[in-house]
Amino acid sequence: MNIIQNLPILVVIVPLIASFCMPIIGLFRRRYCFYLTLITNFLILIFAMLLLNYVINQGEIHYYLGNWEPPYGIEYVIDHLSAFMIILISFIAFIMTIYSKEDVENELPTNAPLFYTLFMLLTASLLGIVSTGDLFNLYVFLEIASLSAYTLVAVGKKKDALIGSFNYLIMGTLGACFILIGIGFLYLVTGSLNMADIALRLPSLYSSHVVHAAAIFFVVGLSIKIALFPLHVWLPDAHAHAPSTISVFLSGLVLKVGAYAMIRVLFDIFTVEFFVNTLPIAEVLSWMAAIAIIAGSINAIAQKDIKRMLAYSSVSQMGYIALGIGLANTPGIMGSLLHILNHAFMKGCLFSAAGAIIHKYKIRNVHQFKGLGKKMPYTMAAFSIAAISMVGAPPFGAFFSKLFLALGAIESGKWIFALIILISSLLNAAYFFSILERAYFTKLHDEEIEEAPISMVLPTFILAMGCIAFGVFMFILEPFLRDIATSLL
Residues that bind other proteins (CB under 8 A): 136, 139-140, 143-144, 147, 150-151, 154, 159-160, 162-163, 165-166, 169-170, 173-174, 176-177, 180-181, 184, 187-188, 193, 331, 388, 393-395, 399-400, 403-404, 406-407, 410-411, 415, 418-419, 422-423, 425-426, 429, 433, 437, 440-443, 474-475, 478
CA distance 272 to 326: 10
Least Å distance, CB 414 to other proteins, is 12
Count other C-beta atoms under 10 Å from residue 312's C-beta.
Answer: 24
Three-state DSSP at 453 gives: coil
Least Å distance, CB 277 to other proteins, is 23
Least Å distance, CB 354 to other proteins, is 20
Count other C-beta atoms under 10 Å from residue 239's C-beta.
Answer: 30
Identify which of residues 54 and 217 has a Cβ nearer to other proteins in the complex.
217
CA distance 478 to 312: 29
Least Å distance, CB 5 to other proteins, is 26
Q: Residue 9: left (phi > 0), alpha (psi -120 to 50), or beta?
A: alpha
CA distance 145 to 128: 9
Distance between terminal CA atoms of the chain? 32
- Which amino acid, one-letter code, is at 468? I
Least Å distance, CB 1 to other proteins, is 33
CA distance 311 to 405: 22
Least Å distance, CB 150 to other proteins, is 6
Identify which of residues 150 and 260 has a Cβ nearer to other proteins in the complex.
150
Count other C-beta atoms under 10 Å from residue 53's C-beta.
Answer: 13
Least Å distance, CB 264 to other proteins, is 19
Closest CA relative to residue 297, chosen from 392, 428, 201, 411: 428
Identify which of residues 35 and 136 has a Cβ nearer to other proteins in the complex.
136
CA distance 103 to 156: 10
Identify which of residues 91 and 320 has a Cβ nearer to other proteins in the complex.
320
Identify which of residues 61 and 169 has a Cβ nearer to other proteins in the complex.
169
Identify which of residues 11 and 135 has a Cβ nearer to other proteins in the complex.
135
Least Å distance, CB 320 to other proteins, is 15
Least Å distance, CB 158 to other proteins, is 10
CB 228 within 8 A of CB 289: yes
Closest CA relative to residue 130, chosen from 173, 59, 82, 200: 82
Identify which of residues 191 and 280 has a Cβ nearer to other proteins in the complex.
191
CB 37 within 8 A of CB 119: yes
Least Å distance, CB 451 to other proteins, is 17
Helix (H) or strand (E) run with residue 261 in it: helix 255-263
Least Å distance, CB 47 to other proteins, is 26
Identify which of residues 3 and 445 has a Cβ nearer to other proteins in the complex.
445
CA distance 264 to 244: 29
Closest CA relative to residue 123, chosen from 16, 262, 4: 16
Closest CA relative to residue 405, chosen from 326, 295, 314: 326
Question: CA-based diameter of the chain, in Å?
Answer: 72
Identify which of residues 58 and 448 has a Cβ nearer to other proteins in the complex.
448
Four-residue CA torsion sign, 105, 106, 108, 109: positive
Least Å distance, CB 172 to other proteins, is 9
Which residues share a beta bridge with 305?
365
- Which amino acid, one-letter code, is at 300? A
Identify which of residues 3 and 66 has a Cβ nearer to other proteins in the complex.
66
Identify which of residues 95 and 142 has a Cβ nearer to other proteins in the complex.
142
CA distance 247 to 309: 12
Identify which of residues 51 and 337 has a Cβ nearer to other proteins in the complex.
337
- Which amino acid, one-letter code, is at 356? A
- Which amino acid, one-letter code, is at 347? K
